[in-house]
Structure 1
Amino acid sequence: MRIVIPDDYQDCVRHLDAFAKLEGHEVTVYHDTVTDLDTLADRFRDAEALVLIRERTPITAVLLERLPSLRAISQTGGGAAHVDLAACRRQGVTMMAGTGSPYAAAELSWGLVLAAMRHIPEEAANLKAGRWQRTLGTGLKGRTLGIFGYGKIGQLMARYGQAFEMNVLVWGRESTRKRAAEAGLEVAGSQAELFERSDVLSLHLRLNEGTQGIVTAEDLARMKPTALLVNTARAPLIAPSALEAALRAGRPGMAAADVFDEEPVIGHPLLERPNFLGTPHLGYVEKDSYELYFGDAFDNLLAFDAGEGVKNLAD
């Protein structure tokens, strides 16, 4: 089978233990990101299968029409919003998705909390430049951790907050609030209350039509000038340009994010803000996660090639 793997930024896929599963197949790996339709069509022209790394490459109907050899797409992780499933169905392309793990993303989220509240990146840079103790950090004990979305990652964040003796406050849809209450956590009376009371507020929602732009400029304006907003979920959860404006206004006082509207990021207004800490979408970029994600994606592809029954999201 001729397999193409795009967007391997770090050139790490070939070095995973899971890559051995593809022995005997013709595999081409690309390390840059391409958005031009003609270039994508040329790269994928002879591919019988694509292995996609999360949502890095949108698979549109127009692109699929130019890929007559394509028989299958195997997605790392479970999301498929970037793939036109109706077009896959029309073209007879089987679309498979795998599973993931919440741990790496939750760990990075908590790392951003600590790094931002204690100014760790700034002080590490100060030390290397010969400057000693230039900031005053903020501790977590006794402060309120707001969690917007109580899924697998949100649940881990709640446990981390409790381990640091924080007061955990949860908000989300009705089922979210019910799970949080059953776990003995405090549930906010409203979305507004969540933003008003949180000293650290972490977003852990899935992006869909109902959640796009769910965090408004008004929500951000309710936050304390000492508060931190953390977003390791998806950038469009926040209304366009609202976070930049909020940071200029000083409510919240700080923000940390691992996700951006368009990735990879070359330049972005947020990166110019002194009260913003950013990382390049590292939430799932960790060896154990990659072994799990790619191992699952490769297994699905091999099962398809062997004619075994696979779950086709395009059906």
Structure 2
Amino acid sequence: MKLQCAILDDYQQVALKMADWTTIEEQVEVHSFSQHFENEEDLIEEIKEYKIIVIMRERTAFTASLFEKLPKLKLLITSGMRNASIDLAAASTYGVTVCGTASSSEPPTELTWALLLNLARNITLENRALRENGPWQSTVGADLHGRTLGLLGLGKIGGRMATVAQAFGMDVIAWSQNLTKEDTDKLGVRLANSKEELLKTSDFVSVHLVLSDRTRGIIGKQELEQMKRSAYLINTSRAAIVDQEALIKALEENRIAGAGLDVFEEEPMPEKHPYRTLPNVLATPHLGYVSEHNYRVYFTEAVEDIVAFLEGAEIRKIN
């Protein structure tokens, strides 16, 4: 009898087209689920017979209680090598091997710039007006050349952000708790003396930190009040890095010019969430990593992970 493999949250229904799954078809039967299971009971009912499960980023959380109710699960594969929604200790406790895949920093960098540029030049607003026979030019764009981009985090994505910003003629300043002048000098970036300095001097603030106990809520009410009223906040990293209630209030009161957001505390976003209607919010449904190249890498390496598991020699193991 073949092993059963489930691919969860295949929203675009492309997972089976993005890799050669025929290499495991003699041993494994693969099923793809495009719908998101919001209720854990419904999820368990659908996947309780599966020994292998492939998930995409944090779309579905794998908690201790979920692992406990999936006794047949032996291999969990996530896109990327880091997934904060997986309880790795619980996975080990219940005998589940967790493996990952490679992930490119280019797609989220490109999406971040798409949000930033759209905000700066009011592209969505002006496009809607053009399509609906609204006013011909109703906004004045914010310049990038000569303005300051503040980067919270200067890792792979932050570094790419800095390079593009410099091509636009922007001044780039960066800060994180462990960032050094040696790090910033390599990229020709100015090291902020403090988070407060970065927030007070930046025209655009872009978040590129890893979510951890130290970074959770690192941008809150006080930090948002330190930003210029004309400044924009862009977050394509993790929602919890920014205090969401404080951000919503700041946007409602126009304490900052606007926000470009690709990550949220609850995904898919609830129907009546304020981000859906606030006029100074440009939001996308967590598209940062969603690109053809990344998807081909994810699912190709997921197949490789399964092959290695079947051979008893796990690769890219996370737990």
TM-score above 0.5, yes or no = yes
Structure 2 counterpart SS, 1:73: strand
Q: Is the 8 A contact 1:222 1:251 kept in 2?
A: no
Alpha-carbon deviation of 1:18? Answer: 4.5
Alpha-carbon deviation of 1:290? Answer: 0.6
Q: Is the 8 A contact 1:151 1:176 kept in 2?
A: no
Distance of 2:264 and 2:245 partners within structure 1: 11
Q: Aligned residue for 1:38?
A: 41
Count of residue pairs brought into register by the alignment = 314
- Kindly indicate whether residue 277 of structure 2 is the aligned counterpart of residue 244 of structure 1: no
Higher mean C-alpha displacement, 237-246 vs 110-119: 237-246
Q: Is the 8 A contact 2:159 2:187 kept in 1?
A: no
| Amino acid corresponding to residue 2 of structure 1 in structure 2 | Q
Compared CA separation, residues 219 and 15, structure 1 to 2 (3 A): same
Structure 2 counterpart SS, 1:153: helix
1:5-64 deviation per Cα after TM superposition (whole angstroms, max 9, x unaligned):
111111121221354554332011111111322211111111011101111111122221
Q: Aligned residue for 1:300?
A: 305
Q: Aligned residue for 1:269?
A: 274
Compared CA separation, residues 177 and 242, structure 1 to 2 (3 A): farther
1:50-92 deviation per Cα after TM superposition (whole angstroms, max 9, x unaligned):
1011111111222212222111111111123211222211211
Q: Aligned residue for 1:122?
A: 125
Identity of counterpart residues, as a percentage? 38
Higher mean C-alpha displacement, 7-16 vs 46-55: 7-16
| Amino acid corresponding to residue 173 of structure 1 in structure 2 | Q
Q: Aligned residue for 1:70?
A: 73
Q: Is the 8 A contact 1:200 1:230 kept in 2?
A: yes
Compared CA separation, residues 20 and 243, structure 1 to 2 (3 A): farther
Alignment gaps of 5+ in structure 1: none
Compared CA separation, residues 173 and 305, structure 1 to 2 (3 A): same
Q: 2:11 aligns with which of 2, 9, 14?
A: 9
Compared CA separation, residues 75 and 35, structure 1 to 2 (3 A): same
Q: Aligned residue for 1:104?
A: 107
Q: 1:288 aligns with which of 281, 284, 293?
A: 293
Distance of 1:28 and 1:195 partners within structure 2: 47
Distance of 1:138 and 1:125 partners within structure 2: 19
Distance of 1:20 and 1:185 partners within structure 2: 48
Structure 2 counterpart SS, 1:146: strand
| Amino acid corresponding to residue 304 of structure 2 in structure 1 | D
Distance of 2:80 and 2:22 partners within structure 1: 19
Q: Aligned residue for 2:159?
A: 155
Q: Is the 8 A contact 1:13 1:19 kept in 2?
A: no
1:255-304 deviation per Cα after TM superposition (whole angstroms, max 9, x unaligned):
11011110011331122211111111100111111111222222112111
Distance of 2:46 and 2:181 partners within structure 1: 46
Compared CA separation, residues 280 and 19, structure 1 to 2 (3 A): farther
| Amino acid corresponding to residue 123 of structure 1 in structure 2 | E
| Amino acid corresponding to residue 219 of structure 2 in structure 1 | V
Q: Aligned residue for 2:284?
A: 279
Structure 2 counterpart SS, 1:17: coil
Q: 1:26 aligns with which of 26, 29, 32?
A: 29
Alpha-carbon deviation of 1:311? Answer: 4.5
Distance of 2:101 and 2:139 partners within structure 1: 44
Q: Is the 8 A contact 1:171 1:177 kept in 2?
A: no
Distance of 2:40 and 2:209 partners within structure 1: 31
Alpha-carbon deviation of 1:177? Answer: 5.0
Higher mean C-alpha displacement, 294-303 vs 49-58: 294-303
Distance of 2:120 and 2:283 partners within structure 1: 14
User: Normalization by structure 1: what TM-score?
Assistant: 0.95
Structure 1 counterpart SS, 2:82: coil
Alignment gaps of 5+ in structure 2: none
Distance of 1:300 and 1:176 partners within structure 2: 37
Q: Is the 8 A contact 1:77 1:99 kept in 2?
A: yes
Q: Aligned residue for 1:227?
A: 231
| Amino acid corresponding to residue 99 of structure 1 in structure 2 | A
Q: Is the 8 A contact 1:149 1:176 kept in 2?
A: no
Alpha-carbon deviation of 1:176? Answer: 5.5
| Amino acid corresponding to residue 147 of structure 1 in structure 2 | L
RMSD: 1.5
Higher mean C-alpha displacement, 299-308 vs 205-214: 299-308
Q: How does 1:136-175 map to 2 (within 5 A)?
A: 136-175=140-179
Distance of 1:295 and 1:105 partners within structure 2: 20
